[in-house]
Homo-oligomer: A and B are copies of this chain.
Amino acid sequence: MQRSSSAFSYSLETEQLARFAKALGHPARIIILKHLSNQSCCYTGDLLEVLPLAQSTVSQHLKELKDAGLIEGEVLPPKIRYCIHTKNWNIASKLFKKLFEEDFNEIKCC
């Protein structure tokens, strides 16, 4: 996984979009997010009943979603209540929308 030595970097927007997409790149995490956005509102690890995964694995997925900024957790002993991180969720929404709306209708050659 070496990288060419030149000091190249992708644009922040590109990096951000890729980071969000990567976080969405696993069925379990899609389900978690659907749960959080669908369901009345916040949630915790009763995801265990929805997902075919061990507790530690689900915890790991939650961590990745948190690291990507898509969810946030409120410590509410002994439970933790997870919610969509509304602000970043909206940013993600805009970035994806922008990607797919890229004016590529204008000319069509294939």
Q: Please report the C-alpha to C-alpha distance between residue A52 and residue B83 in the assembled complex, in whole angstroms.
A: 37
State which residues 55-110 of A face B: CB under 8 Å: 72, 74, 81, 83-84, 86, 89, 92-93, 96-97, 99-100, 102-104, 107-110
Chain A residues touching B, range: 35 or more
- Which of A's residues lie within 8 Å of B, judged by CB? 3-4, 6, 8, 10, 14-15, 17-19, 21-31, 33-34, 36-38, 40-42, 52-54, 72, 74, 81, 83-84, 86, 89, 92-93, 96-97, 99-100, 102-104, 107-110
In the assembled complex, which residues on chain B have CB atoms less than 8 Å from the CB atom of A3?
52
A25: contacting residue among B21, B74, B93, CB under 8 A: B21
